A and B are shown apart, each in its own frame.
Chain A
Amino acid sequence: MTRHAEYAVAGDPAARSALGPNQIDQLGEALLALTGEVWILTDRLAVLEAILAEHGIDAAGAIDRFVPSPDMEKALNAKRDKLIATVLAALAGQAIPAPT
């Protein structure tokens, strides 16, 4: 450790600040946007489990064992990017992006 110290760039994490004071509102709005997304997923999961139960399937264990296919992974990635873009737009105080 000691012999590498001369190569280290001095930095004080305690003094580091990513968001400025004027971004606190955007942070609050990002939290709301994120909560909305969590709610949508909660709703969807409840619907999915109800539908599966109607067909005699206990989904909880099957979900834990499930491995996404490459196509599904690609689709999930696109949804993930939309989620991230929505939150980042709120953080940046920008318009919510239209669907692509």
Chain B
Amino acid sequence: METPTLASPRLAQRGRAAINFQAGIGIASARLLAQAERALADRGITADTLPEDMDARHDTVAHVIGDHPAFRLNTLLSEWRAKSHGPVARDAFEEQRDQLVPALHALDAGPSRLVEEPIPPLPSYWADTEFHRTEGGWDSSAYNGYVHGEILHKLMLAKMFPGDIFAQRRAAASAAPRRDYARILDMGASSGHYTVALAEIFPAARITGIDLSPRMLEHAARSGNARGQAWQLHVRPAEDTGLPAESFDLVTSFNLLHELPPPVIDAVFAETFRLLAPGGDMLMSDVPRFAELDRLTAWRFDHLAKWGGEPFWRASASMDLAAAATRAGFTGVTAGGIGTAPTFHPYLIQGRKPA
């Protein structure tokens, strides 16, 4: 049972209305993009006629509908929301700081914890990137885990993104072939939303989480304590965890891989293989593969990623993850989307370390 602070963030009126407005802008922005895509079709460009090369696809779209009011307004709204959502959520938190801070610290005590240990050197793909255009990065303020994990996810993203973003996590976790894993590693645990899903699906498992953001993991620990969970959380890179070999029965992630450049993704699969006990399972969930989408849908993802603080999305989504998993040594590798057309999101890659 979630505490009210985490289940449904209670903001003061200004913060609540401002976040609500951000969600409204996101919804309006998506409608404008759909309108622009209809204009594209009216001018004879469809998924079947767009060029294969992604840069050429962008050039074609810009040439054909670059002057269309809906496309221009979509750009304006997207750009403004990208810049303002972080400060708006920050201000919403500050407005309620006196109530929220004691409530959050009341969740510090409990069996879930961020393990105190030296923080390893941060890889450049992380240190040099403001993912999702989060001003100052994930660790820019002491309570950023709550600001992004709860306020933005539950009051903005959940209203903007298609489908139920939390049900998608449960669906991904549920796709694992067994229910009796004793030791699970959540790579890229962040503020703990997928960890929550793992705990629901595998209630008997001992769950470890890693991420590069201490602020996000601090919040994940509070989220675990709010649920009476005993998650052990570490600031470690997924490609080089330093955790003992063969110490997990399931290694899994949700929406981690598209934040990584392809050589690091290869390293993550290799590290996953090393960490799994013989017979253990790998289950990674991420964004759809461009090669498996129609060209217009793939362009839409790339358009949103290009301007949304997702520098590695294109390279990652262009990668054959099933081949990468096979290269790492996994057997019985399967890959494919489990969602609905045309995106089939979320996309799952599964495999087993030979016994």
Contact = CB atoms under 8 A, between A and B. Distances in A.
Interface of A: 25, 28-29, 32-33, 35-36, 39-40, 43-44, 47, 90, 95-96, 98-99
Contact of B83 (A29, A36, A99): A29
Which 10 residue pairs across A and B have the least CB separation, nearest first? A43-B17, A96-B87, A40-B17, A29-B80, A28-B76, A36-B21, A32-B80, A39-B21, A44-B13, A99-B94
A44 B91 contact: no
A19 to B, nearest CB: 15
Interface of B: 13-14, 16-18, 20-22, 24-25, 76-77, 79-80, 83-84, 87-88, 90-91, 94-95, 135
A33 B13 contact: no
Contact of A25 (B14, B79, B84, B87): B79
Given A32-B25, A40-B18, A44-B17, A99 B91 contact: yes
Contacts of A43: 13, 16-17, 20
Contacts of A32: 25, 76-77, 80
Nearest to B15: A40
Contact of B13 (A28, A29, A35, A47): A47
Nearest to A29: B80
Contacts of B21: 35-36, 39-40
Given A29-B80, A33-B80, A44-B13, A98 B20 contact: no
Given A32-B80, A44-B17, 6 more contacts: A29-B80, A29-B83, A32-B77, A90-B80, A95-B135, A96-B88
A50 B21 CA distance: 20
A29 B79 contact: yes
Given A96-B84, A96-B87, A99-B94, A44 B76 contact: no
Contacts of B18: 36, 40
A43 B18 CA distance: 10
Contacts of A35: 21
Contact of A33 (B20, B84, B91): B84
Contacts of A33: 80, 84
A31 to B, nearest CB: 9
A95 B22 CA distance: 17
A95 B88 CA distance: 12
A82 to B, nearest CB: 10
Nearest to A36: B21
Nearest to A43: B17
B94 A25 contact: no
B155 to A, nearest CB: 14
